[in-house]
Amino acid sequence: MIKINNLHKFYGNGESRTEVLKGVSLNIKDGDFVVILGASGSGKSTFLNVISGLEPADAGTVCYDDKNICEMNDTEMTLFRKDTIGYVFQQYFLLPNLNVDKNVKMGADLTKNTNYRSLIEAVGLADKKKKYPHELSGGEQQRVSIARALAKQPKVLFLDEPTGALDEATGRMVLDLICKLQKELGFTMVMVTHNQNIARMANTVISMNSGRIVEEYTNSSPQSAYEIAW
Ligand SMILES: Nc1ncnc2c1ncn2[C@@H]1O[C@H](COP(=O)(O)OP(=O)(O)O)[C@@H](O)[C@H]1O
Ligand SMILES: [Mg+2]
């Protein structure tokens, strides 16, 4: 369980100081699939970055089971992130001078996972193991970044607009793949998107507006990536 209580986050100083998270609270159950919706600038990425320990909070608590990550020092935080968190970004962030196998191995090496090649197969890139990122399509690059994130066997996978740079067909394929992997491996998943249709795939849906959660509901029967509108 991730318990987020009364999170506040500010950017800037003096006159330009703005409050980007205005007291956000949320509980995320183990194995849940949470989708976070909201207009551009509503604080979705900031929220994801703070609850995953990428950025510090200015006030509030984020507890993974009983561990409050807001109280961790740098060493504890590095270890926590290594053992617990996977992250997928809209822009993939693959290392351009490493091939597919080496990019995924980088994630695997963090937790000494020697079985990472099965993930390259699971994302359908077994025949492209030796290709470099520039030789791949956007959808293929995103599949590499998903395999890399999962190669360290995270307990929680955070995804920030993972289909934002993909066309509809590729986006559906990537979402379908992510959901299948989640069912198989059982990790918790928190995904930011501004595509409202994707919310139908989630168990729990959160809407943010101007640094606050303004709506939270659960779906009794989530749909697949091929059932939703786009
Ligand atoms: N590093 C930063 N420094 C200053 N302002 C920032 C920074 N990151 C985000 N912001 C501001 O915080 C607000 C929320 O940003 P963000 O969390 O990226 O929103 P979203 O992901 O919903 O589009 C925006 O007004 C943005 O300009
Ligand atoms: Mg964002």
Check residue 115 and give its pLDDT: 87
Quick one: average pLDDT of 42-60? 97
Give the residue among 26, 28, 21, 22 at the shortest CA–CA distance from 1.
28
Question: Has residue 197 been placed in a domain?
Answer: yes
pLDDT in tens, 89-144: 999 999 999 999 999 999 999 989 888 999 999 889 999 999 999 999 999 999 99
Per the structure, the count of domains in the chain is 1
Question: Has residue 80 been placed in a domain?
Answer: no
Beta-strand ranges (E) seen in the chain are 2-11, 18-28, 33-37, 59-64, 67-68, 85-89, 156-160, 188-192, 204-209, 212-218
Q: Is 211 in the pocket of ligand 1 (CB under 6 A)?
A: no
Write phi, then psi, for 17 (nearest 5 degrees).
-65, 125
Q: Which ligand is nearest to the CA of 162?
A: 2
DSSP state letter for 154: -
Cα distance between residue 18 and residue 222, in whole Å? 36
Half-sphere exposure of residue 164: CA atoms within 13 angstroms, side-chain side: 15
Q: Give me the chain's average pLDDT, please.
A: 95
Question: Has residue 67 been placed in a domain?
Answer: no
Cα distance between residue 224 and residue 180, in whole Å? 10
Using most ligand atoms within 8 A of CB, pick from 44, 46, 210, 214 the residue to mutate for ligand 1: 46
Which structural domain range is residue 124 located in?
Answer: 30-50+85-218
State the amino acid at position 65 in one-letter form.
D
Question: Has residue 24 been placed in a domain?
Answer: no
Question: Has residue 112 been placed in a domain?
Answer: yes
Residues forming beta bridges with residue 144, ordered by sequence position:
none
Using most ligand atoms within 8 A of CB, pick from 20, 22, 36, 54 the residue to mutate for ligand 1: 20
Check residue 16 and give its pLDDT: 92
DSSP state letter for 197: G
Question: Has residue 72 been placed in a domain?
Answer: no
pLDDT in tens, 12-30: 999 999 999 999 999 999 9
Strands 85-89 vs 156-160: parallel, antiparallel or unpaired: parallel
Check residue 203 and give its pLDDT: 97
Question: Has residue 106 been placed in a domain?
Answer: yes
- Whole-model pTM: value is 0.95
Question: Has residue 17 been placed in a domain?
Answer: no
**Residue 217 Rama label (left phi>0; alpha psi -120 to 50; beta):** beta
Q: Which ligand is nearest to the CA of 41?
A: 1
CATH code for position 39: 3.40.50.300
Quick one: average pLDDT of 179-190? 94
Say which residues have a Cβ less than 8 Å from residue 37's Cβ, sequence separation at least 6.
44, 193, 194, 196, 199, 205, 206, 207, 208
Torsion sign (Cα): 188, 86, 184, 230: positive
